[in-house]
Structure 1
Amino acid sequence: MSQVEKILLPYFQNTNSFFVAFTDFKGNCQAVNELLIRCLNTENKEEAKHKFEEYFSPLLSPDNYIQLESGKKSLIEMPAEFITENEIRPTFWEITVCKSEEKYTYGLLWIGHLNKPMSTLHSDNSPQKESNRFFEDENYKLKALLDSSTDGSVLISPEFKILSYNRTAQKSAEKYYNTKLDVGKDFRQYILEDTKEEFYTDFKKALNLEQTVKEKELLIRSEKIWFQCSFHPAIGANGQVIGVSFNSTNIDKRKRAEEKIVENEKFLDSVLQAQHEMICRFLPDTTLTYVNNAYCSEMGYSKAELLGKKFLEFIPEELEVKILKNLKALNLKKPSQTMVHKSFDANGNPRWQEWTDTGLFDADGNLIEFQAVGRDITELIDSKRNLERFHSIFENSLHEIYLLHPEQLKITQANKAAAKNLKYSVDKLKNLSFYTVVNQPFKQKVKSEIQALLEGNKDKVSFESEHLRQSGSTYPIEIHLQKMCIDKELFLVAICVDLSERNSYIKSITEQNTALREIAWIQSHLVRAPLANILGLILLLKDEIGEDTKIQNLMLLLEKSSKELDSVIRKVADKTRMVELLDKEIDNR
């Protein structure tokens, strides 16, 4: 049984004096009573509804339906011929609008009867009295509905006289004005002074068939209270405006809750804006809907410039497909992810950022938005690259490099060159003291130099020492020590240069210089003495030769050659003295 049948037919189901049907405003039949079913020569209720639509619904013209639905007419009476049991009989129908709090009972109520003497129609069981009882009950239910409403409703005439009101309106008048509403009273005495002008304007609009709904904070007895006020035109049975239905609802709790929500949102936004991390929200197509101050600062744009933009505009083109693919992969089982990617700020500078994206889903599990928290890691990436460069230099250096802890000079890091020269593994070196690889005769010197470095004002020192291999062999080194702070902790960096080849070169040069000095000594002493004698003899012979021109020329040539030889011997002697000075400098090292 339909809702219409449950509500309406109990009033008319068992009557044998008139027919009852209910249709919508297009003539579609929704309910019929038993008497009408029998008279339509059927026992099937649905078939009876179809027959009613065929015989009776067309009796009303489209204009009739429109007039009834709009309220321009409240009742239409008309005669109709009714075929029953192969007999044509006259009938008379009353069609009226039926409406109650049940949403399914808004339509047309058809009450029909066979033409009978007028006295029959006025009996206690006449259709008219049945209809009157029905509508009296409908009015009672409508009144109950209005009184149960939390909205205060007052029907006001165009002259501001109270025509009707519900229970909530009466309670509000007693609470806020210490008075009661009465039909016929002038409603203007209940209008607050500072709202009268606006009230009259909205009241006038309602009289002109315009509805108005407003939310206002009213000052009543020194107390501010939020109300929702609405003005609706009230239409009478003749379709004319009979007044205004004024409705007010106390929405103070809701508004205070909304204000609290707004305050919480502002507080939350202030917290988000104060964060050092970048925070944003964006749609599945990457359109930004929220950004905090940190995001604006890092990207170099204002908030107005960012909102509505797609953040893909700041991403290298070759990364766009990968980023979109990763975002689309988020679901309820895996709602978040962390990505590191490059972006460009307002000046076109590349920035490295780390983002944690979280998907936001609706009740059906559809991805509707993302919230992301990011941080700029450009310095971290640069530091990592610098560290990789340093590590490459450290590991591939031809010289031994050690990172030493000042206490007991423990080796914390050593490079490949150190391990290769000392014949240790790198891991084994890390467990040793630096003194372990220093040859015994040089340990005290190394300790003294390190102590002086730690206690003095110098940042670095250099000195020569010897290293002791794992096999027991030694080799000369030049140690360059300097202080270094790593994460506010003091360390020593030792760069050790193997002097084996240099010393070998020096020894070879020294030996060559010794041989050169011996040659120079022979030339300057053993060779130069006879040369000096020859030069002296030449001078004596010049005086003895006399006028012989040929011999004089020979003597001149001999003298010239002797002096050239003497000059060469002198130059060799000068070079020898320079070599001696270099030897002394090397010895002093």
Structure 2
Amino acid sequence: MKTIAVIEDDNDAWLLLKNLLIKAGYESKQLIRFASIADIRPQQTTPEVVLTDLGLPDSKGLATFKKVCSLFPDSPIIVITGDGDADLAIDLIREGAQDYLVKGEIDHRLLSKSIQHSIERKRITSDYKRIFFDSPTPKYILDAETLNILAVNKAVIEKYGYSEAELLHMHGNDLRPAEEIQRFRQKAQTLNTERYDGGIWWHLKKDGTVFAVHIYVHTTEFDGRRAFMVVAIDIDKQLKAEQALEEKALENEQILESMTDAFFKVDENHCFTYVNQEFEKILQKKRGEILGQNIWEVFPEAMRLKFYEGYQRALQTRENTYFEEKLPGYGLWLSVKAYPFDKGMAVYFIDITEQKLAQEKLARDEQNLRAIINNTSDIIWSVDRQNNIISANDAFWTYLYALTGKKQGEITEADFNNEVFAAWTQFFDRAFRGETFKTIWTSVIGNEEYTSETSFNPIRNEQGDITGASCFSRDITQERKLQQKILTDDANLKAMIDNTDDLIWSVDTDFNLISANKAFLTVIETWIDRSLKVGDNIFDPKMNDALTEKWKGLYSKALNGEQFLMEQEANDNGSTLFTETRFNPIRDTNGKIIGVSCFSHDVTPLRTYLQKTEEQNKQLREIAWIQSHKVRNHVASILGLIQVIDLHKADDETSHYALRGIKQSSEELDVIIREINEKTQQLDQNEKSSYERL
């Protein structure tokens, strides 16, 4: 039940207000009266509105209002007093009063209108504060006179590393390095415009880190004081990239073409000598159309803009020049840097249209701020402690429509099953207890399964009390699918290296095991009589033998950058085993050696085959020697004896002697041929056995 708290000590005034409120549509049971500050007790529900007199028995004037504010921080407060002091009314409004009514001048219509307007003004004020504090861009408010920090958002706390309490006791100087303080003071003293582009500054984090920001300032009023709202956009990475680019050779076409910034060069006659792809894309000019052409003939409209002024300044001063400009014909804002050199000018620029649009949005009213959160596919919403929606972007309502088929205003608790509703209620309760956390949630829309990552953050009022929770949900469906594919690929790869008898392993620079397949772990357990797991040191700290020193030397050799092959011969139960082990350095993305990968393969069958082949070759050489020496000698003897035989004198003694010699040589030749045949058969048998073993 919505209630109205009335703080009034005068009975007649109370009865008058009561009658006016009943005429305005409220019931008596909704009205809660307090006759003094001391009478006020904590309420179960926050009053919809508080009506208070300033003159109470235990408090007077402005002090009364401040006490009521502290007791009812989340309720709009209307002051009803008999004092028509206009200055007091202004002071009260500055302090946060939603309205100021004078007794005797009120009727039920005026009172009803004042209540409704006060409730709406309080809601808008709370939304503005929430949008400020939850913005992902660092924002803080400085006192225009003292430059003390008056308020900061969460992004400032995260970016600079200070707590909120620390920041609220700091000066604007404390966020800057010493060399920037004088410049900061001068700018602050001369700032007299409603909106100001402060340009690039260096800021300082709590840990001493200096980084670059682009500053935008809006003059405003905070707690009745003139103040500056400062938006600090981190451009540190961008600025460092620009500085690195300046140091590199501008003539390197491959680098220039890969840049996301547009780039062009002109010679001393102001004619284009080079443009990159991004230039063509942004300005819609093909390089073939403009190379060799004068820049001011190609873009004559630029002579009326800052481009021409900045270009001429860079030529005259021979110093690098930076400026921003809007191209009317293109609808683009460009950030330009010009670098003069001896024979021309090198210029690069980036499209900062979106950044400029963001600046304009920051200066607009609530509708424009809402447009910012709607310009994303991420789901953003907030709830109060009763789980009622406070605010939500379009993506939130689109998601609920896809989930329930209902539009905003039609959705009820019944559209969600009990399990889902209970789970999300628990999430909100955790945030209400002050916890900041993330959850992963899977839902089914149609036939598709979606996975999202949701961040929950408590919403606190100015007193630090938790009044609700803000939520940011991001679709990570594709990211999860990719993670699953990586896990599957890893599993498949592990299965592949485990499905081999070869030994595969790797160690880091301290000889700790990075990875290993099953074959390696099995063999190493046999060798060292202990099991190893990833992370263990591969060497037993108690052992310092020659084998340990040998392997440390091999790993160290690879860690020094050498890739090599080691061959080993070992005896296993009377059998000789041969292995080949390859050592390869492991390097990170920067080329630094971070470990060694090893691959060991049993080459015993191959070595055995090679040995048998060598033995066969030896036998072949023996056969060849027999053929070339022994056989040839006997053949020569036979041929010589045949020549001395006189075929016409069969009884001649010389012929008989020659025939006997031929017979003897033939018999010896037959023995040699048999020997060759036996060796050949033995060679064939050995070769067959070798193939069978392989």
Give TM class, smaller chain: 0.3 to 0.5
Could you say which structure has the larger radius of gyration?
A: 1
- TM-score in terms of structure 2 length: 0.40
Higher relative contact order (CA 8 A, sep 6+): 1
- TM-score in terms of structure 1 length: 0.47
